[in-house]
Amino acid sequence: MIQTRLTEAFGLRHPIVLAPMALASGGALAAAVTRAGGLGLIGGGYCDEDWLGREWAWAGSERVGCGFITWKLAQDPGVLTRALARRPAAVFLSFGDPAPFAAEIAAAGVPLICQVQTLADARAAVQAGARVIVAQGAEAGGHGERRATMTLVPEVADLLAGSAPDVLLLAAGGIADGRGLAASLMLGADGVLVGSRFWASAESLAHPNFVKAAIDSSGDGTLRSSVADIARGLDWPDRYTLRALANDFTDRWHGDIPGLKANADTEAARWQAAWGTGDPAVANAVVGEAVGLIQDRPPAAEIIDRMAAQAEMLLNNGARR
């Protein structure tokens, strides 16, 4: 097994963490990742407490954590208080300033994981007391920015080595197999945060039609855009765009954001209906460039076993060479 500072700190068998993907990383998936030796995180995302309660129940007695979209959490901070009462393995914050929540998380004795997209974000996360920083490259599915994983991860690793050597580092963005895990460790990470590969797992809450569309696509078929957020009526900060599969809907509106906003009521209803029925021609499968490395939908435990075994083989072969 590959042992790192991450596995030692969190008592894991593998340096693999489930990305807390909103509406996809439910309790069953988080529990499956934890049982398989990784760290499972429930995707609390937009702070829907009814959804969170159901998914915590599905996690059962497994030790899992949860994640929140930070700017959304700021609109209802009580969600964090109630989540901490469940004694999560970690709280994961991304897309906003973690500082207003850091003291409460620390007082509860829960590790804070902060996802960052820039070096400035990483410095702010260190100041907030993050135990773990996730350097997220633009290859990632869902929301993010412009930096690439290959360069952002070692830059953050160097930053931490010089100013906060006890803070752990995860790589995120485009990691779907053992090659990505091995490469991330070589870049200076202590482990990886994996989204799209677990999104296409047996336990994921992703609609089967969206998963099939993703498997049939490649990394070339994804797009960073604000179209889906406008269709969903979500007021995301301008700095973040959503990577998802391109489709007829984005083909029509990606180059005409003013037109989409002018027709928002009609188009939002059409997008939402397609999301409910799993129509990938209208609603967008939220996945990253790693989709080109995904050809099936196995259980999460099988994904972890494959990833860990391939990474160990590659690292051992490299050491022998």
- Whether the Cβ atoms of residue 158 and residue 194 lie closer than 8 Å to each other: no
> Domain 5-205+296-320 has what CATH class?
alpha beta
More confident residue, 190 or 46: 190
Residue 133: the pLDDT is 98
Residue 273: the pLDDT is 95
CA distance 75 to 72: 5
User: Residues 94-118: pLDDT tens digits?
Assistant: 999 999 999 999 999 999 999 999 9
Q: How confident is the model at residue 264 (pLDDT cuts 50, 70, 90)?
A: confident
Burial 174-205 (b: 16+ CB within 10 A, else e): bbbbbebbbbbbebbbbbbbbbbbbbbbebbb
Long-range CB contacts (within 8 A, 24+) of 260-268: 260/227, 260/230, 260/231, 261/230, 264/230, 264/231, 264/233, 267/231, 268/230, 268/231, 268/232, 268/233
Q: How confident is the model at residue 1 (pLDDT cuts 50, 70, 90)?
A: confident
Tell me the domain boundaries of the chain: 5-205+296-320, 208-284
Residue 319: the pLDDT is 60
User: Residues 205-253: pLDDT tens digits?
Assistant: 999 999 999 999 999 999 999 999 999 888 899 999 999 999 999 999 9
Sorted by sequence, the CB contacts under 8 Å of residue 297 that are 6+ apart come out as: 200, 201, 202, 204, 211, 215
Max Cα separation, the chain?
61
Question: Is pLDDT at 49 greater than 90 in this prediction?
Answer: no
Q: Where are the alpha helices (DSSP H) in the chain?
A: 5-10, 27-35, 49-59, 70-73, 78-84, 99-107, 119-128, 149-163, 178-186, 196-199, 208-215, 227-232, 248-253, 257-262, 264-277, 300-320
Mean pLDDT across the stretch 294-313?
97
Quote the DSSP letter at residue 48: -
Residue 321: the pLDDT is 58
Question: Is pLDDT at 81 greater than 70 in this prediction?
Answer: yes
- Whether the Cβ atoms of residue 300 and residue 36 lie closer than 8 Å to each other: yes
Question: Is pLDDT at 48 greater than 90 in this prediction?
Answer: no
CA distance 69 to 5: 26
Residue 46: the pLDDT is 85
Tokens of 2: 């590959």
> Interior CA angle at 76 toward 74 and 81, to 5°?
100
User: Residues 180-218: pLDDT tens digits?
Assistant: 999 999 999 999 999 999 999 999 999 999 999 999 999
More confident residue, 203 or 320: 203
- Whether the Cβ atoms of residue 134 and residue 173 lie closer than 8 Å to each other: no
Residue 320: the pLDDT is 60
User: Residues 52-65: pLDDT tens digits?
Assistant: 999 999 999 999 99
Q: Give the three-state DSSP class for 27.
A: helix
CA distance 217 to 261: 28
